[in-house]
Every structure is written in structure tokens, then in C-alpha cells.
Chain A
């Protein structure tokens, strides 16, 4: 479905020295610095996948998704959608993609919501029968019809995102790109958006590619994660695989009756706070039961619990926090 081959994007940054003197110097002798926002990215995405791009701000996620959707021209490499290069055959290829970019709306601010959809109907040359059918279908998932007559400027953010989702799907694209779609949404709007993504993926087999910082989005939606940092692909795989690879350990929390915590040879005492001690152990190496058994021989244990490594730990590790 989508092939990304050796994708690179460079930006030229004019670095300036401080003050008026620096500004003058920059004018006479500009100091150009090339920023490699995306470096040699390659991956393949199959039809019907939901892929989440994660990485810190400025990691190159948005740049990548914008090259994949034909907005930015790659410095090197190419993006093929169904075998066609999107930057060379933009007008043809974009018929197969839908795009929702954060809070940037493609709806007409001044008019009722329905007019924005009507315009898209003409732009994508959708016949009336097909248009009615898709609108019915999307209405069942999102309840959009009650909003059709409302002017977009009077809508809440949640309603506008619903409108944008419908606008992006009205021509039945094969691929849907979402750049931080849940940003600023309340719980119920987030829920509606996730349900929408799951439904269109299940019913229409739409391939979905999204960037997000929201752990809920990742856990709910993404079977596959692509982790990007500093423009480089760090990890690619499903959530549990990545967890096993980046953080193949669990944390055992033990509460004793006093403040002396014993050490253990096969795990590491990583923190101690009063009566509570935290041990980190490798999942493949030893089981929690063995460690508890050994520790209880040395000290009387009051309580134990196990902390699984989750997506938030992965993000902390990748983001370097």
C-alpha cells in the first residue's frame, strides 16, 4: 500500500548572532545551517493497518507525514502510494488519501457545515447516490447529520473535528492521515474519534496513519508503532514487541516492616523510600515469584506489587526524559 524509501528532508536554517551587530553580520554574511529533519527513513505499510507515529516534538513525525501526504517535497527518496510516487503524480494520488491535521480545519468557516461537504463532492466528483451513501454511513458512526445546518464558526472544537473527519473521508480514500488528531479534545470527543478510526478501519479497510502524543490513542488504536527521534527511525513493530526490546524488565515493589531493604543478586535495587523498595529485574531472566521467595527468607515482607513496563515508560526512554 505505502512504501517509504530512503526518505530525507533538509531545511536550511539561518543562524543569527545576538543583537543588532549580529543581525547586520547575518545580512552581509548569512550563516546557513542545514537541518536534517528526516534522515533516510524506509518502511512499508500494508492495506488495513493502523500505524502510530510517536516521538518527541521536533522529532520529524509531522515532516514525515506531510511528505507521505504530498504536502512537502522530499529532499531525497520517495513515497509510493499503491506504487505511484506522490510528489510526481500528486493530483492522481491524492484522490486516494484523506487528511486531518490537528486543529487546522478544511471547513468553510462562514457557511453551514453541509456546504463544505458539498464543495468536496464537486472537487472529488462524487455522484449524488454515492455521496448520500457515504454520508449515511459516516453519520451512523459520528452522528454528523444533526450538525449539517450549523455554521462552522459556531461549532465547538469537538464538533469541528467531527466535521473534518467526515470531510477527509467523503471521497472514500484508501489511506487516512491524521496529525495529532486528539489534541485539545475532551474525553468524549476523543472517544468518538477513536471509535471512528476503528470503525472505518474495520468496515472500509482504510489504512490509518496517525501521529500522537496521547498514550490512550496508541493503546486503543495502534497495532503497530513507528518511533522516530531526531529524524531517524528508532523502532518499528507492535507495542509489546517494542516494550520487550526497549524495556525488557519489570519492577517489583516490596514493602517491609522496617527501613532496611536486602539486596538480591539477580535484580537491582533501584529505589528505596522508607519501608518501600523497588527492584528491577529482567523478564526473561528471573520471575517475580523467585525473587519474592528469596527476599522473604531474609526479611519479613508486608506487601508486594509488580509494575509492568508500559507505553509511558517507552515514551520516557525514547524521549530521553
Chain B
């Protein structure tokens, strides 16, 4: 037990330092900041403007009102932003495998996955977080949500779970590079699919797609199911526990991803000098 807390303290200490370094790196290249601050939020605000246009033209999407869609869209962008901050490196795992960049993590006394993600923590992901929070708050107001402590806890729990599901999927896709030994960047495809399936109601899609996205690739749990249960729209699954189901699914995906990563790491071949 003492050892566990000592180790936890060690990881926290390194994490704090690594975040400090990430800020130092951002300050080192100040002109990048402006670019990100403009382009990233704009991308999501535009996306939301399209939803607004569609809803205003057609009334509702599958029984979802404009406010409810904003709520869903906002939460989806928030978990996307969190996954960008902590797990975006997963998109580039193939490059690390081919170039032998895991060597340095393997010779240091910390978990390899932890070092891979946290020593490259992407503080710029915050620029995605801001539009997400704005749209989410807008959605809360439109839906007249009562902000109780329970509501806050449910939102936090589902966001942690959703971030884990996204991160786990990045790890799973990235870890295939250990076996294929090719540096394919899955980022673009993953984001396309994730955006289309988490920002809009999943019920838009055919039954078979919904089945796959619920049980096989559990993207439905990232935002659709917890939000439909929270707001009581088309609730296929409902109850207070639904956000916790998202969290549990997140843990399971992460565990499988971690195991698959470690399996791949045993086949890691480094790279010649």
C-alpha cells in the first residue's frame, strides 16, 4: 500500500513537471499559439453552425431539439479535446515504432505507455476544449438543465469514460504498427468516424451500424447513450448508472488496449543506428 502511494506520488510529480515543460515549449514558439487559437475553435463553431442550420430548416433531428443537440455536440467536443490533450500521440505511434523512439521510454523506470503519452502531452488541445465548453453551456441553458451536484458528477464520470474510450481506440489502432511495421497515421480516419458518430444522435444511422457502434466498437457510449439518458430523449438505456457504464466501458477498452500494446511491445524491434 505504501509502495503504491509512493509510486503514485512519483507519477504525479513527473506529470506536473511534464505539464510545466509543455507550457515552456508552447512559449518557445509563440507564433504557433495564434494559429491554433484561431483555427481550432473555428472548426467546431462552424460545425455547430451547420447543426443550427439543419435544425432550423427541418425542425428536429430524430426527435432531438436544437438545445439537446447542442448539449450532445458540446460534450462530444469536450471529450474529443481531452483525448487530444492526453492521447493524441496514439495517432503517431507507428512513427515511434518504426523510428525506434520507444528505446528511451524502455530504458527509464516508468511505464512505457505513460511516458509515451505524458512526456508528449499536448497542451494545445485546450483550444478544442473552449468551444466544446461554450456549446455545452449553451445546450444546458437551452434545455433548462438543473445543475445539481449529482448532474456534475455524472458529467465528469462520463467525460472520463468517454476520454478513455477514445484514447483506448487510438492505442489499439496505433499498436497495430508493432505487427505491420508501417507508420500509417490513423488520426484522420479516426477523427472523421468519431466526429460523425459522437456529435450527432447515433439513432440517425441504420440499426446494424448502431449495433456495431454499441457493442463491438463502443463509440455510442462516448456521448450518445449517456446524453440520451441524462436528457431523457430516445433513451434506449436509462438510469443514473448510465454515465458509470460509460466509465466502465472506458476502463475495459483501456485495459484491452494496454494489453494489446504490451503484447506488441514484446515484438518491438527498435531501429538500426
Contact = CB atoms under 8 A, between A and B. Distances in A.
Contacts of A106: 104
Contact of A62 (B102, B111, B266, B272): B272
B109 A123 contact: yes
B100 A104 contact: yes
B153 interface: no
A73 B110 CA distance: 17
Contact of A180 (B28, B270, B273): B273
A209 B18 CA distance: 31
Interface in A79-103: 90-92, 94-95, 97, 99, 101-103
Contacts of A122: 13-14, 17
A104 B101 CA distance: 8
How many of chain A's residues touch chain B, expressed as a range? 20 to 34
Interface residues of B, number: 28
B28 A111 contact: yes
B107 A71 contact: yes
Contact of B106 (A70, A92, A151, A183): A70
Contact of A102 (B14, B102, B104, B273): B273
Which applies to chain B's interface (DSSP): helix, strand, loop or mixed? loop
Nearest to A87: B266
Contacts of A292: none
B2 to A, nearest CB: 15
Given A66-B103, A111-B25, A119-B18, A101 B273 contact: yes
A104 B99 CA distance: 10
A70 B110 CA distance: 13
Nearest to B24: A111
A51 B267 CA distance: 28
Interface string B1-24: 000000000100110011001001
B35 to A, nearest CB: 17
A118 interface: yes
Contacts of A317: none
B138 to A, nearest CB: 37
A90 B21 contact: no
A2 to B, nearest CB: 15
Nearest to A102: B273
B24 A90 contact: no
B56 interface: no
Contacts of A11: 269
B25 to A, nearest CB: 5
Given A111-B25, A115-B21, A122-B13, A62 B104 contact: no
A90 B262 CA distance: 13
Interface in B164-203: none
Contacts of A99: 103-104, 107
A180 to B, nearest CB: 6
B81 to A, nearest CB: 23
Nearest to B271: A104
A213 to B, nearest CB: 11
Across the A-B interface, give the 7 residue pairs with the lowest CB-CB distance, nearest first: A102-B273, A122-B17, A99-B107, A106-B104, A91-B109, A110-B25, A71-B106
9 contacts: A71-B106, A72-B270, A90-B106, A91-B111, A94-B109, A99-B103, A99-B107, A115-B24, A125-B10
Given A71-B270, A124-B109, 4 more contacts: A72-B268, A110-B29, A179-B273, A183-B273
